[in-house]
Amino acid sequence: MVPFSFGGHALLALPQGALFWPQRRALLVADLHFEKASWFALRGQMLPPYDSIATLADLTALVAATGADEIWCLGDSFHDSDGCERLPQRAQDMLRSLTDSTRWTWITGNHDRAILDRCGGEVVDEAVVDGLVLRHEADRAEAWPELSGHFHPKLRVRVRGKQVARRCFV
């Protein structure tokens, strides 16, 4: 984990790709894309159907490891607005356990703008929390410190003559 200060708040960048805000005991995640595999399957491109369950298992472990009381999903939590309906029962149970045990907020993204609260938690377009703006797509005109997802940044480096790309925080 990498501690840093942003907008006057101490945050931790976690190797799992999430941010932890210790002062609020809040976990911030973005671009989970639940049910991406089932969306592709509906269009004839078969992918292993385990993406949502694996992501929820990782998220459950992160909540346990950090002791998070709040979860902020910064958009594109589902690959499309109907993703919640396609969740397998096991994934629904895992998600319900998380939304029942934390203060869970879904911020809508470009993939899931029409998401409703049928998956538990609260649904908002954006939020201002202790002076930090939380949204899916960054706004260049925003004057407040802002945390967002959407861009899927990667770092590309050459290692032993081979190019390696890994996701990163920007």
Q: In the chain, what are the domains?
A: 2-167 (3.60.21)
Q: Structure tokens of 19?
A: 């941010």
What are 84-94's pLDDT values in tens digits?
A: 778 889 999 99
How far, in Å, CA of 73 to CA of 124, rounded? 10
154 vs 130, more confident: 130
Please choose, from the candidates 107, 99, 104, the residue with its C-alpha nearest in 3D space to the C-alpha of residue 146: 107
Which range (33-42, 119-128, 149-158) has the least confidence?
33-42
**pLDDT confidence band for 119 (50 / 70 / 90):** confident
What distance in Å separates the CA atoms of residue 137 and residue 148, rounded to the nearest whole number?
6
Task: Work out the average pLDDT over 128-145.
Answer: 93
Predicted pLDDT at 90: 94
Dist. CA 92–CA 121, nearest whole Å: 13
**What is the value of pTM for the model shown?**
0.86
d(CA 49, CA 39): 10
- Identify which of 108, 112, 132 has the alpha carbon closest to the alpha carbon of residue 122: 108
Indicate if the pLDDT at residue 7 is higher than 70. Answer: yes
For 73-81, what is the mean pLDDT?
Answer: 79
129: pLDDT strictly greater than 80? yes
